[in-house]
Structure 1
Amino acid sequence: MDLKTVTYLIVGATFLLYIGIAIWSRASSTKDFYIAGGGVHPVANGMATAADWMSAASFISMAGLIAFMGYGGSVFLMGWTGGYVLLAMLLAPYLRKFGKFTVPEFIGERYYSNAARIVAVLCLIIISVTYVIGQMKGVGVAFSRFLEVSYGTGLMVGMLIVFIYAVLGGMKGITYTQIAQYCVLIFAYTIPAIFISLTLTGNPIPQLGLGDTMTGTNTYLLDKLDQVVTELGFAEYTTEKRLSTLNMFAYTMSLMIGTAGLPHVIIRFFTVPKVKDARSSAGWALVFIAILYTTAPAVAGMARLNLIETIEPNPGDHLVYDERPDWFKNWETTGLLKFEDKNNDGRIQMSADTTDNEMVKIDRDIMVLANPEIAQLPNWVIALVAAGGLAAALSTAAGLLLAISSAISHDLIKGVFIPDINEKAELLASRIAMAVAIGLAGYLGYNPPDFAAGTVALAFGLAASSLFPALMMGIFSKNINKQGAIAGMIAGITVTLLYVFQHKGIMFVQSTSFLGDMKANWFLGIEPNAFGFVGAIINFTVAAIVTRMTGKPPVEVQELVEYIRVPSGVSRAQDH
């Protein structure tokens, strides 16, 4: 059976599964729509959280970026994984104990201000819309290759699927759909990795295969990779930094605290019955996440090695263009892979020198999807990877869109403008807001500003500079008042956005020379996608200064902070 047919069958089966779950778990109340009724089992919630958090950036783009950035790409692994631990330990249990539906609702009540709630909603929308663009890019890339449709058509199909199960089911439908999507994406990610690791090293465990010797030789895989990239003029794979140590630190911290401030992940912890269940589901989610995140470096290294050895079998022995393999031709038709014969010799020359390099475009987002084709794995494996990439993108897109619709319907309409709205009308408003958000996401996703992971990194920076400090201070400081919180959020996100657009950081540039030109104008050499860490420092500082100038919050608010922090059973505090 040909690849296209197999892909349609596997992807179609998964889509039918998602739609069936959505119909089965249709939300009938606002509690179902916002927090899945509040009764999700911790293990199930951990699996859904993992799917919600592991987006197209994790599945499709992260390994692609590591494949080309090498050691410098470790910022994504360290930042995103460390950030989840930070979220699980410092924020999730306390927010669950507070017992509300959304992040803006917590901020509005903790800072006793509708103005603070509105600012939090605006920050949430900016973050979530930026993030969802990356998911739409992932959907378009996967569809355009494996279903042989245009990027735009792929987006439309993806939007339709999300519309059906997110608008119908709300958080209840999304939760159970994400459990299925996690199963799909994790099998899709690990099975090809096992095949390729066996082929290259004879070791069936990819995490160990990355540090093992190549089959039939005494050469370690990473040593071989360093050799082939340096022969083409690139820096060593295992030692190349992302610009500088300071920039890597800032990038890692931006991703880390940005993760802890992501509203669509935080609301997942409101879906479990008790506070201890929030802690338990956080632990399970970390286990499920670790399976993919420990596999990603192996996928990245092996994909880069396979790509180079296909195009440059030996140093100076360039592949004849007319003899290029089928996978090369297939990805060329998508426009995501492009060759230009600069010296008219009919051969493909790959080089770090941009004037000589004839592989003028290798979209980083294709590496995970193309890897099984390059390795000549069976069609069902290739089709499974396509289904996994779509599952990762759609699961996170649904969570983000729910966060946006909840912010609009629950925090703005009910929380501020129409407090006495009935539940039926609020549920309708939520669904309308979701539909509008899906349309906006598709429109912006049609012309994405970056690679999936680059766009997502920007979203993490915005979360780091706006919501994370407000949440941290709201839980661990009794003294921060509403004026300080509002000023801090506005200052943090404004400075970050201005820096991004001033230095065109919305583009995750590939050209080393262009990076050098831009770096001259960067603050301490920190690239814009990493500036969220600086924005967070500004947020904390402004909030502290303004609070000092305007006085402490009311006594009842200070008591609320004490209540949130004291474990249930120790004092009068009990789980909601």
Structure 2
Amino acid sequence: MDLQMMTFLVVGATFLLYIGIAVWARAGSTNDFYVAGGGVNPIANGMATAADWMSAASFISMAGLISFMGYDGAVYLMGWTGGYVLLALCLAPYLRKFGKFTVPDFIGDRYYSQTARTVAVVCAIFVCFTYVAGQMRGVGVVFSRFLEVDIVTGVVIGMAIVFFYTVLGGMKGITYTQVAQYCVLIFAYIVPAVFISIMVTGHVLPQTGFGATLADGSGMYLLEKLDGLSVELGFNEYTNGSKSMIDVFFITAALMVGTAGLPHVIVRFFTVPKVRDARKSAGWALIFIAGLYTTAPSLAAFARVNMIETINGVEQQGTPYASAPTWIKNWEKTGLISWDDKNGDGKMFYSGDERNEMKVDRDIMVLANPEIANLPAWVIALVAAGGVAAALSTSAGLLLVISTSVSHDLLKRNLAPNITDKQELFYARLAAAVAIGIAGYFGINPPGFVAQVVAFAFGLAASSFFPAIIMGIFMKKMNKQGAIAGMVSGIAFTAAYIIYFKFVNPAANVPANWWFGISPEGIGTLGMLVNFGVAYVVYRATGEAPEEIQQLVEDIRYPKGAGEASAH
């Protein structure tokens, strides 16, 4: 059976599985649609949370970033992992105690203001659309190669699948679909990593292969070889970073606090029966996430060595294009890899200086890795299914946040409080359908590669939601005026900075022009500080929150039976 037929069978089988689960678990009420009825098992919820959180950026793009950037790419690994720990330990249990469906719901009630709720809705929609653009792009990249369609068609196919199980199943359908998607994506990530680790280093575990010597008998360590190749070919040394320390810190911090402020991840902790179950599901999710995140650096290193040697040859003299490997010809059709014979010798050459003749999109590395290593067709098809699963699982969660923000927070809790449960469910599904259309447009016309687009979303979440949630839980006197002013100023500053350097004047997007040397990917941390600062100044100028709100916060942090509440 050829590769394309195998891919059709594997990907098609997973689609049928997802649709079957959506039909089985379809939502019959707003409670089902928003929080899956609040009765999900902690282990299943942990698995669904892992799938929701490990997006196309984690599956497709993160190892590609590390493969191309080396040490500098580790900021994504550290930021996203640390962010989940921050969310699980500091925010999730308290938000679950509050008992609201959505983050705007929490902010609207905690800050006793419909204006605060509306600002939170706008922020949620802005963040989610930015994030989902990266996911739909990931779907397009996978389909363009493995189903041999263009990226536009690939995005449309992805839209149709997500539309079906998001609009029909709501959170209930999404939750159990994400359990299946996690199983698919983690298996698809680990299997080729094990194969390639054995081939390159002789180690079964990719994590130990990462620090091992090569299996070719040279006695050279994998990272030692990568450093040598990188310097020889004009790249930065693989194990040394080129980013400034301040930019590394700000990007890592933005990804961490952005994770803790992502509404589609936070809402997962409302789907379990008890607060104790929220803590358990957070722990299970961390275990499930670790499988992929501890594998990514080794997969990135294996891919880098294999790609360079495939293109340049083992002796780094260039490979004749006429005898180029099949994977290069296959990916050329998608436009994500190309060759320009600058010196006219008919040989491909890949380097980091003027000798370079190859354009290789970093988003293809994980997907192309099994082909580069000449793994069996079923492994390649499995990776395609895993990439689609990662992108679709997160897309569904994001689109659900958008639909609930519109139907529950904007309509039911604000503009049209008298609508019935049935009407609210209708508007939620309508909002999801519209959101999918807009998300598809941004997937076809993305503002950057997958992980970069997702990094922008994390920065926007860091500068808007995170301070409002933290102050809402741990600063009981914070008032609505401060929270609103902080959210507006934080997200406005961050969005303006990103838009200027990425859209208005991209030629100026160089370290010399960045404020304090902070890149657009890391500016969310500064936006967060702006949010905190503005909120505090406005709060001090306008007075404390009402006594009943302060008592509400006190009850969330110190429930009855937990000991005497703090007087501070």
Shorter-chain TM-score category? over 0.9
CA shift at 1:218, angstroms?
Answer: 1.1
Partner of 2:486: 488
Q: Check conservation: 1:64, 1:366, Cα contact below 8 A.
A: yes
Residue 533, structure 1, aligned to residue 525, structure 2: yes
Partner of 1:202: 202
Q: Secondary structure at the match of 2:212?
A: coil
Distance across 2 between alignment mates of 1:568 and 1:406:
31
CA shift at 1:569, angstroms?
Answer: 3.2
Distance across 2 between alignment mates of 1:488 and 1:63:
35
Per-residue CA distance 1:247-274 (angstroms, 9 max, x = gap) = 0000000000000000000000000000
Mean CA deviation greater in 343-352 or 36-45: 343-352
CA shift at 1:420, angstroms?
Answer: 1.5
- 1:45-194 equivalences under 5 Å are 45-194=45-194
Per-residue CA distance 1:497-552 (angstroms, 9 max, x = gap) = 11112222799x9xxxx78x722111111001110000000000000000000000
Partner of 2:235: 234
Per-residue CA distance 1:116-140 (angstroms, 9 max, x = gap) = 0000000000000000000011000
Residue 388, structure 1, aligned to residue 386, structure 2: yes
Per-residue CA distance 1:154-193 (angstroms, 9 max, x = gap) = 1111111101111000000000000000000000000000
Distance across 2 between alignment mates of 1:449 and 1:478:
39
Partner of 1:347: 347
Structure 1 unmatched runs, 5+ = none
CA shift at 1:321, angstroms?
Answer: 0.8
Partner of 2:355: 356
Per-residue CA distance 1:440-483 (angstroms, 9 max, x = gap) = 10011111111100000000000000000000000000111000
- 1:31-46 equivalences under 5 Å are 31-46=31-46
Partner of 1:468: 466
Distance across 1 between alignment mates of 2:503 and 2:264:
24
- The alignment of Structure 1 onto Structure 2 pairs a total of residues equal to 564
Distance across 1 between alignment mates of 2:8 and 2:108:
46
Per-residue CA distance 1:350-395 (angstroms, 9 max, x = gap) = 2211x32101x21110000000000000000000000000000000
Distance across 2 between alignment mates of 1:572 and 1:218:
63
Q: Secondary structure at the match of 2:528?
A: helix
Distance change >3 Å, CA 489–CA 198, structure 1 → 2: same
CA shift at 1:58, angstroms?
Answer: 0.2
- Computed over aligned residues only, the root mean square deviation of the Cα atoms, in angstroms, reads 1.4
CA shift at 1:313, angstroms?
Answer: 2.0
One-letter amino acid of the counterpart of residue 210, structure 1: F
Q: Check conservation: 1:485, 1:543, Cα contact below 8 A.
A: yes
Q: Secondary structure at the match of 1:520?
A: helix
Partner of 2:245: 245
Partner of 2:511: 519
Partner of 1:551: 543
Q: Check conservation: 2:254, 2:462, Cα contact below 8 A.
A: yes
Distance change >3 Å, CA 505–CA 254, structure 1 → 2: farther
Q: Check conservation: 1:506, 1:529, Cα contact below 8 A.
A: no
CA shift at 1:240, angstroms?
Answer: 2.0
Per-residue CA distance 1:132-152 (angstroms, 9 max, x = gap) = 000011000000000111111
CA shift at 1:571, angstroms?
Answer: 5.8
Partner of 1:220: 221
CA shift at 1:317, angstroms?
Answer: 1.2
- 1:301-312 equivalences under 5 Å are 301-312=301-312
Q: Check conservation: 1:500, 1:506, Cα contact below 8 A.
A: no
TM-score by structure 1 length? Answer: 0.96
CA shift at 1:421, angstroms?
Answer: 1.0
Q: Check conservation: 1:505, 1:527, Cα contact below 8 A.
A: no
CA shift at 1:568, angstroms?
Answer: 5.5
Q: Check conservation: 1:101, 1:270, Cα contact below 8 A.
A: yes
Q: Check conservation: 1:259, 1:464, Cα contact below 8 A.
A: yes
- 1:308-323 equivalences under 5 Å are 308-323=308-323
Q: Check conservation: 2:447, 2:502, Cα contact below 8 A.
A: no
Distance across 1 between alignment mates of 2:36 and 2:539:
37
Distance across 2 between alignment mates of 1:148 and 1:33:
35
Of 498, 502, 514, 2:500 maps to: 502
Distance across 1 between alignment mates of 2:477 and 2:362:
46
Distance across 2 between alignment mates of 1:450 and 1:190:
27
Q: Check conservation: 1:450, 1:506, Cα contact below 8 A.
A: no
Q: Check conservation: 1:33, 1:427, Cα contact below 8 A.
A: yes
Q: Check conservation: 2:363, 2:449, Cα contact below 8 A.
A: yes
CA shift at 1:217, angstroms?
Answer: 2.7
One-letter amino acid of the counterpart of residue 261, structure 2: G
Distance change >3 Å, CA 316–CA 280, structure 1 → 2: closer
Residue 427, structure 1, aligned to residue 425, structure 2: yes
Distance across 1 between alignment mates of 2:558 and 2:402:
31
Q: Check conservation: 2:309, 2:316, Cα contact below 8 A.
A: no
Per-residue CA distance 1:49-75 (angstroms, 9 max, x = gap) = 000000000000000001001001110
Distance across 1 between alignment mates of 2:438 and 2:388:
19
Residue 441, structure 1, aligned to residue 442, structure 2: no
- 1:389-404 equivalences under 5 Å are 389-404=387-402
Per-residue CA distance 1:5-39 (angstroms, 9 max, x = gap) = 00000000000000000000000000000000000
Distance change >3 Å, CA 35–CA 198, structure 1 → 2: same
Distance across 2 between alignment mates of 1:487 and 1:113:
13
Per-residue CA distance 1:281-337 (angstroms, 9 max, x = gap) = 000000000000000001111101100011122454111111101000000011000
One-letter amino acid of the counterpart of residue 322, structure 2: D
Runs (4+) of structure 1 moved beyond 3 Å?
A: none
Paired-residue identity, %: 65
Distance across 2 between alignment mates of 1:217 and 1:266:
49
Q: Check conservation: 2:93, 2:279, Cα contact below 8 A.
A: yes
